Amino acid sequence: SRSYTVTLLPGDGIGPEVISVAKNALQLVASQEGVDFKFKEMPMGGAALDLTGVPLPEETLSAAKDSDAVLLGAIGGYKWDNNEKHLKPETGLLQIRAGLKVFANLRPATVLPQLVDASTLKKEVADGVDLMVVRELTGGIYFGKPRGFGTNENGEEIGFNTEVYATYEIDRIARVAFETARKRRGKLCSVDKANVLEASMLWRKRVTELASEYPDVELSHMYVDNAAMQLIRNPKQFDTIVTNNIFGDILSDEASMITGSIGMLASASLGESGPGLFEPIHGSAPDIAGQDKANPLATVLSAAMLLKYGLGEEKAAQRIEAAVLDTLDRGYRTGDIYSAGLKLVGCKEMGEEVLKSI
Amino acid sequence: SRSYTVTLLPGDGIGPEVISVAKNALQLVASQEGVDFKFKEMPMGGAALDLTGVPLPEETLSAAKDSDAVLLGAIGGYKWDNNEKHLKPETGLLQIRAGLKVFANLRPATVLPQLVDASTLKKEVADGVDLMVVRELTGGIYFGKPRGFGTNENGEEIGFNTEVYATYEIDRIARVAFETARKRRGKLCSVDKANVLEASMLWRKRVTELASEYPDVELSHMYVDNAAMQLIRNPKQFDTIVTNNIFGDILSDEASMITGSIGMLASASLGESGPGLFEPIHGSAPDIAGQDKANPLATVLSAAMLLKYGLGEEKAAQRIEAAVLDTLDRGYRTGDIYSAGLKLVGCKEMGEEVLKSI
Ligand SMILES: CC(C)[C@H](C(=O)O)[C@@H](O)C(=O)O
Ligand SMILES: CC(C)[C@H](C(=O)O)[C@@H](O)C(=O)O
């Protein structure tokens, strides 16, 4: 039977609760599909800081590298908010992205018919939204050098960062985006600020050049400020969006809020080879941690992405996705997506209902 | 009588049409308030490129500097989209901002009761939104050096920009923002990416330090990705937002789309001293240029901001603002804000109705 090692990184806040649900779901579909999972749980983020003094211990990174896929809960919390940069949970996240070289972050934002009322957008605007943000994840201003603090020519303190893209970085993320669009509705919108930034001008030039290799994909370009507007004005105009690290951070969160149910949204981060990193797009929600209130479905759907994009186990992935929809159809809702007349459940019970649906 | 010189920069696309309406409104309130305006019309943007070969001729900048306030229509168009950077209309805009040293860009986003249906957000979410984005306008990644193209250590082409802020730049924009919040509802939210960027860490540190001088203002901090979400989830939580140049570009456009009527939104760009630059936040809309379809109200309201923030002529400003509301109350609408049962008019007729209301 096919056997995989999966590194689990529960992290902080609600992370452990939602990871536990997703692990059960993986285990159940595994037995059904004749797949064998070895799970290895490792500390990361604030949990790792408290335990080992660093947000990404070497053992965690090497376990992740040695596995077939990595499933992350969430990281961060008030407790570590004022830490120095190298001791922030977020730094651990950036380190594992860089360490696993997962340069392509896929973030689907889909409005499920069952949850269309959760959106703050009018029904006719939100209904049927189904877009994918392909975000560059290991380059740009997040990692660019030089960076730091210094003084300018007048002796004043400055803080600075470098937004930088090399052609190979643009090409590889663009290829992932063209391939993604090809498997979807064949429309790709590249978002940049090429009317101001040189890094964006190079981005636009390379994406435009690569388009000739994908004649079946319809490419358009949009400035980031306009994209931020268009996502609100008419999100249905988008199929696949490709953009740099910082614009992707902003736009993918905006896109996810359009669905109104970020407790439902998964993400996959992939490299050229090696294990992918899969995580819900929501945060660690320290205010509700340990209260059995979290929505585990984003992590369950991240596990489905892990099966599909990380291991090529399409059938198992579909089983999980179908089970999530079935659980919603049967009326179960955690607090974040609850509306009158439905069945309000906690994180654990939602997990049990998903298992029943599987 | 008080006498002012106002430089008019009609620019491109619908710019000339909307500027002409705003000029008439200024002239009428001037006669009522015993004020005297000298208008000087100068070329800028694509219009200047065609006429003189550069997007901001020296004569235009020096006329602007020598005047009491500058009113800009809009710049840009398909025709110049593929120009080299120094020959883009947008470059002229960045040059005049830098030339006039207008570091503080104020962008109100208000949902008028008359236009709440224009928003794609649900009525209960959009109703009553009244926020102000204070965007840093002459620093950050827009102007930071080094910037350009080059090769990395592997000989590959790169494009790069520098996000950099010095303490004095942060302090002066923060002060404008604290003062602005103080005159509004006393709440200031500073938006940054201090969990990743050093430039943002310095930003957060300085803003936090300055807060002690404004004990009457309630300061909070938010990461930019979260801010992009919160603007959609619950825009009413915001009063005044302060942020850097690029985040402000994105968030102010997002905020304006929340109102659903960007044809209504004005902006003011102010420096320590010298003339301010006032402009509608919408673009040059080349597709409807010259067809008498543009909504002139954003430019008329920019003229009101010019009177208020640029010249201290509060009463004249209020006259214009009241006239715009009255015109809407009387049911006049351009196409962008039209809904059934109201009176659809063109740019010119809308201008005439505003004059009647004044
Ligand atoms: C926590 C933070 C460093 C991270 C990012 O900015 O990438 C987060 O916002 C995300 O999008 O995964
Ligand atoms: C046209 C462009 C250079 C400009 C900017 O990015 O500042 C515009 O988007 C704006 O916000 O005024």
Tell whether B49 is within 8 A of chain A (Cβ).
no
Contact B168, B203 (CB under 8 A): no
pTM confidence score: 0.96
Taking the CA of residue A81 and the nearest CA in chain B, the distance in Å comes to 8
pLDDT of amino acid A40: 98
Q: For A39-82, how does the pLDDT look when each residue is reduced to its tens digit (9 = 90+)?
A: 999 999 999 999 999 999 999 999 999 999 999 999 999 999 88
Judging contacts by C-beta atoms under 8 Å, the chain A residues touching residue B135 are none
For residues A212-235, give the mean pLDDT: 97
Token digits of residue B133: 């984005």
pLDDT of amino acid B261: 86
State the pLDDT confidence band at A177, using cuts at 50, 70 and 90: very high
Strand partners, B166: A158
| Chain Cα centroid distance, residue B293 | 21
Q: Is the dihedral of CA A298, A300, A302, A304 positive or negative?
A: negative
Long-range contact pairs involving B180-185 (C-beta distance under 8 Å, separation at least 24): B180/B106, B180/B132, B180/B134, B180/B240, B181/B214, B181/B217, B181/B239, B181/B240, B182/B214, B182/B216, B182/B217, B184/B132, B184/B239, B184/B240, B185/B239, B185/B240
Contact B299, B280 (CB under 8 A): yes
Residues 6+ apart with CB under 8 A from A292: A17, A346, A347, A348
pLDDT of amino acid A261: 86
pLDDT over threshold 90, residue A210: yes
How many angstroms separate the CA atoms of B12 and A42, rounded?
A: 59
Residue A25: which of A53, B295, A33 has the closest Cα?
A: A33
Contact B15, B46 (CB under 8 A): no
Tell whether B166 is within 8 A of chain A (Cβ).
yes
pLDDT of amino acid A173: 98
- Say whether B197 and A90 touch across the interface (CB within 8 A): no
How many angstroms separate the CA atoms of B185 and B195, rounded?
A: 28
Q: For B308-349, how does the pLDDT look when each residue is reduced to its tens digit (9 = 90+)?
A: 999 999 999 999 999 999 999 999 999 999 999 999 999 999
pLDDT over threshold 80, residue A345: yes
Strand partners, A218: A187
Query: Chain-wide mean pLDDT for chain A?
Result: 97
List the helix and strand counts (H, then E) for chain B.
12, 14
Q: Based on the number of CB atoms within 10 Å of its own CB, is A233 exposed (0-12), middle (13-18) or buried (19 or more)?
A: middle
How many angstroms separate the CA atoms of A335 and A302, rounded?
A: 20
A vs B, Cβ pairs < 8 A, gives 178
Distances (CA, A) of B59 to A77, B263, B270: 55, 30, 21
Q: Which ligand is nearest to the CA of A92?
A: 1
Tell whether B82 is within 8 A of chain A (Cβ).
no
Instruction: Kindly state the DSSP code that residue B310 receives in the 8-state scheme.
Output: I
Q: Which ligand is nearest to the CA of B80?
A: 2
Residue B277: which of B132, B130, B99, B58 has the closest Cα?
A: B99
Judging contacts by C-beta atoms under 8 Å, the chain A residues touching residue B141 are 141, 163, 196-197
Backbone angles phi, psi at B161, to 5 degrees: -140, 160
pLDDT over threshold 90, residue A146: yes
Contact A19, A8 (CB under 8 A): yes
Angle, in degrees to the nearest 10, between helices A297-305 and A347-357: 40
Query: Which segments in chain B show pLDDT lower than 70?
Result: none
pLDDT of amino acid A220: 98
Taking the CA of residue B231 and the nearest CA in chain A, the distance in Å comes to 9
Judging contacts by C-beta atoms under 8 Å, the chain B residues touching residue A161 are 162-164, 197-199
pLDDT of amino acid B81: 86
Q: How many CA atoms lie within 13 A of A285 on its CB side?
A: 21
pLDDT of amino acid A58: 98
How many angstroms separate the CA atoms of B12 and B45, rounded?
A: 7
Residue B217: which of B134, B279, B275, B153 has the closest Cα?
A: B134
pLDDT over threshold 80, residue A1: no
- Say whether A198 and B144 touch across the interface (CB within 8 A): no
| SS3 of chain A: helix, strand, coil, percent, to 5 | 50, 25, 30
- Say whether A195 and B125 touch across the interface (CB within 8 A): no
Backbone angles phi, psi at B257, to 5 degrees: -70, -25
Cα end-to-end distance, chain A, whole Å? 20
Which atom number of ligand 1 is nearest to the Cα of residue A97?
7
pLDDT over threshold 90, residue A26: yes
